[in-house]
Copies of this chain bind each other. A is one copy, B any other.
Amino acid sequence: MLGTIIHGPRDIRLEERPDPTIVLPTDAIVRTVAACVCGSDLWRYRGIADVPRPTPIGHEYVGIVEAVGSDVTSVAPGQFVVGGFLTSDNTCPVCKTGAHANCQNGTGYDGCQAELIRVQNADGTLLATPEQPDEELVPSLLALSDVMCTGWHAAVSADVRPGSTVVVVGDGAVGLSGVLAASQLGAERIISMSRHADRQAIAREFGATDIVAERGDAGIEAIRELTGGIGADSVLECVGTAESVDQALRSARPGGMVGWVGVPHVTDLPQEHMFWRNVGLRGGPAPVRAYLPDLLQRVWDGHIEPGKVFDITLPLAEVAEAYAAMDERRAIKALLLP
């Protein structure tokens, strides 16, 4: 089969690889219908995170079950499935609390930007759609594999509830998904911090009531003006840099909550913006399986269309161009078709 390998900064290659096989009785093999490139993949692409050796890459996918191990009972060959960016058994004590991203038996993948994928913990990871989806539903189902659940996790972690005022820091696919999540959770005012017209348009479509283009102190001031002078109840931190974490903490009102899901590239947290202002911080990798049943139903029923974050579709053969387009901000998020 063909699979994507990152060899180093800006060196993405689609290569012939051995077909994955069932190794454990809890495995499934999925034939990819669509995959995509994650903002977090770009950390390695840009050389910010190390690539010590050529490594299969990609962790988002939807597809058709090709084969299952002897212990798998909840999905069967031929079904269309969505899986999260980490596998989870959905039965361990940690999964039982809803923290599936930290499953005691969880694993990653050996590269999902590929024609075939080995999915460990298949029963606890894959969710089948009620029937084969129409083609136009595929991007939104794919978005559930990571960005939509991650945006949802930011909103849940930030304690968004009916009537909340919300700030979303970051206008990438996760930030936009966070806007959609806040809207679905009943937020009254949703302020998207964005400087790009195309992303602002999607944010509006997803439910943003206001756009703030400024950053730093000017951004804080703009947020204050929109929130009765005090800051937002909930802030979704969807970037992960020291600047964006600072922006998020300072955008919250006293007693407010920041949900952070941007992989943090900050070594320590500025507690001076937290304790004395009673601003909390919660989040991490999203427990996809915890949210998947609810969100898949919302997509299936046409209530949400998170697939709108994909603004470029390429054949898997052009995976290198997908990375380049996202790196150069020519695309928000690239969908790949094998």
Binding site for B on A (CB under 8 A): 93-94, 97-99, 101-102, 104, 157, 228-230, 233, 253-255, 257, 260, 263-264, 266-271, 274-285, 287
> Bound complex: CA of A104 vs CA of B282, how far in Å?
25
Residue of A260, A277, A278, A287 ringed by the most chain B CB atoms within 10 A: A278
Whole-angstrom distance between the Cβ of A154 and the nearest chain B Cβ:
12
Residues of B within 8 A of A230 (CB): 93-94, 97, 104
> Bound complex: CA of A215 vs CA of B18, how far in Å?
50
Residues of B within 8 A of A276 (CB): 284-285
Task: List 28 interface pairs A-B (beta carbons < 8 Å), by A numbering.
Answer: A93-B230, A94-B253, A94-B255, A97-B230, A97-B233, A97-B254, A97-B255, A99-B253, A99-B278, A101-B254, A101-B278, A102-B277, A157-B280, A257-B282, A260-B275, A264-B275, A266-B271, A267-B268, A267-B271, A268-B269, A268-B270, A275-B283, A276-B285, A279-B282, A279-B284, A280-B280, A280-B281, A281-B282
Tally of this chain's copies: 2
CB–CB A271/B268 < 8 A = yes
Nearest chain B residue, comparing its CB with the CB of A268: B268
Residue from B104, B263, B281, B284 within 8 A of A277 (CB atoms): B284
Residues of B within 8 A of A271 (CB): 264, 266-269
Whole-angstrom distance between the Cβ of A254 and the nearest chain B Cβ:
3
Residue of A157, A257, A284 ringed by the most chain B CB atoms within 10 A: A284
> Bound complex: CA of A306 vs CA of B263, how far in Å?
42
Whole-angstrom distance between the Cβ of A162 and the nearest chain B Cβ:
15
CB–CB B267/A278 < 8 A = no
Whole-angstrom distance between the Cβ of A159 and the nearest chain B Cβ:
9
Whole-angstrom distance between the Cβ of A229 and the nearest chain B Cβ:
6
> Bound complex: CA of A98 vs CA of B257, how far in Å?
13
Whole-angstrom distance between the Cβ of A91 and the nearest chain B Cβ:
13
Nearest chain B residue, comparing its CB with the CB of A98: B255
